């Protein structure tokens, strides 16, 4: 069981646990796709993702058979094309739907090699884990299909919680869910403003993940690989024990 100054861990999703396989965001990939297919569209904005996925948490048929999921993918494609004012026939929409799901859905993300082992090590050491992400509704389903859901205890996405990092309220929602006071929760993430500063302002113990070799950070506590996190947690406990 976890004891000592850190009793739980919260962790960011994008660029901490997962990355874009194609090296570009979903918006850029959608714009490329529409161009390749000769489809005119309204300008892309990041908010389009939030609008298209608005009811994803509630409506996505995570455990349904493939044909039910296919119908949902077509529903999502319809929302996307409506929002971007892309005009196609119903038949064309059905043809595009699987491609659009490949661009927008979880399969466009890869899981960092050290993510599974790190979450596993933290759980083995007895730390409950909450994922805290600035994400559209339904990030839980993404975690599920990427194989991460069994390794975390709670998933808090900003669209579902109603607050986005660095707002302290999403961090406090996480510490409440974990049943651990903020000062006993370690947060790890790749964004200095959202993760490091946000978590610090919320009273958490923040750690900045900086994967780029040699990249500078003003953070007082830094890791270069996710797999360093269990040792950092242990180090904080050891330091606390030595001070007593």
210 forms part of the interface with Mg ion (CB under 5 A): no
Residue 160 makes contact with Mg ion by CB under 5 A: no
- Piece in contact with Mg ion (CB under 5 A), picked from 7-15, 56-64, 92-100, 174-182: 7-15
14 binds Mg ion (CB under 5 A): yes
* 234 is an interface residue for Mg ion by CB under 5 A: no
Kindly identify the residues of this chain, within the stretch 53-72, that bind Mg ion according to CB under 5 A.
none
Two tokens, residue 234: 């242990």
Binding of Mg ion at residue 15 (CB under 5 A)?
yes
130 three-state secondary structure? strand
Contact stretch for Mg ion (CB under 5 A) within 6-14, 19-27, 165-173, 232-240: 6-14
Residues 95-134 close enough to bind Mg ion by CB under 5 A:
none
Task: Please give the Cα distance from 127 to 8 (Å, whole number).
Answer: 5
Select from 12, 60, 142, 143 the one that contacts Mg ion (CB under 5 A).
12
Report if residue 171 touches Mg ion, rule: CB under 5 A: no
Length in residues, the chain: 244
What is the Cβ-side half-sphere exposure of residue 141, based on CA atoms within 13 angstroms? 20
CB 77 within 8 Å of CB 100: yes
Q: Note if the bond before 166 is cis, omega within 30 degrees.
A: yes
Q: Which is nearer to Mg ion, 14 or 60 (CB)?
A: 14
Q: Which two tokens stand for residue 190?
A: 């790749």
For Mg ion, the closer of residues 34 and 49 by Cβ is 49
> What residue is closest to Mg ion based on CB?
15
Is 190 near Mg ion (CB under 5 A)?
Answer: yes
Residue 135 touching Mg ion (CB under 5 A): no
As to burial, measured by CB atoms within 10 angstroms (0-12 exposed, 13-18 middle, 19+ buried), residue 20 is middle
Distances (CA, A) of 154 to 52, 73, 193, 213: 24, 26, 23, 31
Where does this chain bind Mg ion (CB under 5 A)?
A: 12, 14-15, 190
């Amino acid at each position: 069981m976890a004891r000592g100054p850190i009793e739980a861990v919260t962790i960011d999703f994008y660029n901490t646990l997962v990355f874009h396989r194609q090296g570009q965001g979903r918006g850029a990939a959608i714009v490329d796709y529409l161009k390749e297919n000769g489809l005119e569209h309204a300008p892309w904005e990041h908010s389009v993702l939030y609008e298209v996925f608005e009811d994803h948490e509630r409506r996505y048929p995570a455990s349904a058979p493939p044909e039910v999921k296919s119908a949902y993918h077509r529903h999502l494609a319809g929302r996307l094309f409506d929002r971007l004012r892309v005009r196609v026939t119903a038949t064309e929409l059905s043809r595009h739907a699987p491609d659009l799901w490949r661009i927008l859905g979880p399969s466009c993300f890869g899981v960092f090699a050290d993510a599974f082992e790190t979450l596993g090590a933290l759980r083995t050491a007895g730390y409950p884990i909450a994922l805290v992400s600035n994400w559209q509704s339904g990030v839980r389903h993404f975690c599920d299909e990427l194989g991460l859901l069994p390794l975390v205890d709670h998933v808090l996405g900003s669209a579902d919680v109603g607050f986005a990092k660095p707002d302290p309220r999403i961090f406090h929602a996480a510490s409440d869910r974990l049943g651990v006071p903020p000062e006993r929760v370690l947060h790890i993430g790749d964004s200095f403003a959202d993760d490091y500063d946000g978590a610090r302002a919320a009273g958490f113990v923040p750690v900045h993940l900086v994967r780029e070799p040699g990249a500078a950070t003003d953070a007082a506590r830094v890791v270069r690989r996710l797999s360093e996190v269990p040792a950092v947690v242990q180090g904080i406990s050891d330091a606390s024990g030595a001070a007593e």
